[in-house]
């Protein structure tokens, strides 16, 4: 960044131009009530988005089952749950599920599905629940935390909600460079994630990739284990 740019930033002269994630998502959920476009790809039809969700659901639930077995007697936090499209998959696995999203509209929609989960409205970065979870999922969410410090603080906030030895499942995509994306999208290379995990005593134990239909994008699905507290 140039000296002038740094000064502008320090003096908050550009603040009014900075992307505001929460109103963006509130408007988007509001504009697409009843449609998968609120959380899926807006250029795709509901049927096409449903196909993508079916594939994501399969890959995510397989990874969770491989890593922790069944969900009975275990808790799961669906971080950035949106309208609850995947929340029901975790309930079906037997988990005791809590969903959190910073959009009131999305959470209202999720509650309306009557899926047996508890829903909370909160930004992930300031999440402060009384419980810790066996599993936390962050599906297509961290790439939307555009501010670098907030992004790291968000992973830290999630890790504070993991039980010792707990599992975090992240679906995102990890391009080599982070330039040229729309305002609400800021994917990061895997090396950034790994550096963040190292600082938080988290260890990546699985990484797989798959291509989504109808889009030229390869998704990355990772499983990250919290330290179990042993020496």
Ligand X SMILES: C[S@@+](CC[C@H](N)C(=O)[O-])C[C@H]1O[C@@H](n2cnc3c(N)ncnc32)[C@H](O)[C@@H]1O
Site for ligand X in 155-184 (CB under 6 A): none
Q: 126-158 burial, b if ≥16 CB within 10 A, otherwise e?
A: ebeeeeebbbbbbbbbbbbbbeeeebbbbbebb
Per CB under 6 A, 60 contacts ligand X: no
CB of 52 to ligand X, least distance (A): 10
Per CB under 6 A, 80 contacts ligand X: yes
Per CB under 6 A, 115 contacts ligand X: no
Residue range at the interface with ligand X (CB under 6 A); choices 11-19, 44-52, 135-143, 200-208: 135-143
Per CB under 6 A, 134 contacts ligand X: no
CB of 39 to ligand X, least distance (A): 4
Residue range at the interface with ligand X (CB under 6 A); choices 6-14, 69-77, 78-86, 213-221: 78-86
Per CB under 6 A, 101 contacts ligand X: yes
Per CB under 6 A, 221 contacts ligand X: no
Residue range at the interface with ligand X (CB under 6 A); choices 44-52, 99-107, 111-119, 216-224: 99-107
Number of residues interacting with ligand X: please give it, by CB under 6 A.
19
Q: Within its chain, how far is the Cα of 111 from the centroid?
A: 19
CB of 42 to ligand X, least distance (A): 10
Per CB under 6 A, 133 contacts ligand X: no
CB of 82 to ligand X, least distance (A): 3
When the beta carbons of 52 and 75 are compared against ligand X, the nearer one is 52
Per CB under 6 A, 200 contacts ligand X: no
The CA-based diameter of the chain, rounded to the nearest angstrom, is: 56
Distance CA 142, CA 173 (A): 10
Distance CA 165, CA 106 (A): 30
CB of 125 to ligand X, least distance (A): 6
- Contacts with ligand X by CB under 6 A lie at 21, 25, 39, 80-82, 85-86, 101-103, 106, 123-124, 139-141, 144-145
């Amino acid at each position: 960044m140039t000296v002038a740019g740094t000064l502008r930033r320090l003096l908050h002269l550009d603040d009014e131009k900075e992307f505001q994630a929460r109103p963006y998502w509130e408007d988007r959920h509001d504009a697409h009530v009843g449609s998968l476009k609120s959380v899926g790809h807006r250029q795709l039809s509901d049927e096409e988005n449903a196909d993508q969700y079916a594939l994501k659901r399969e890959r995510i639930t397989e990874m969770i089952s491989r890593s922790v077995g069944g969900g009975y007697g275990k808790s799961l936090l669906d971080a950035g749950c949106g309208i609850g499209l995947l929340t029901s998959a975790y309930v079906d696995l037997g988990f005791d599920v809590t969903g959190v999203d910073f959009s009131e509209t999305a959470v209202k929609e999720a509650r309306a599905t009557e899926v047996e989960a508890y829903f909370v409205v909160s930004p992930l970065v300031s999440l402060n629940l009384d419980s810790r979870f066996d599993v936390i999922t962050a599906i297509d969410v961290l790439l939307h935390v555009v501010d670098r410090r907030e992004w790291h603080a968000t992973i830290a906030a999630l890790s504070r909600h993991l039980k010792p030895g707990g599992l975090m499942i992240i679906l995102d995509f990890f391009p080599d460079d982070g330039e040229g994306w729309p305002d609400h999208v800021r994917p990061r290379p895997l090396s950034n994630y790994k550096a963040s995990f190292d600082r938080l005593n988290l260890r990546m134990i699985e990484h797989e990739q798959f291509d989504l239909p109808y889009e030229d994008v390869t998704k990355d699905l990772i499983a990250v284990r919290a330290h179990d507290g042993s020496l």
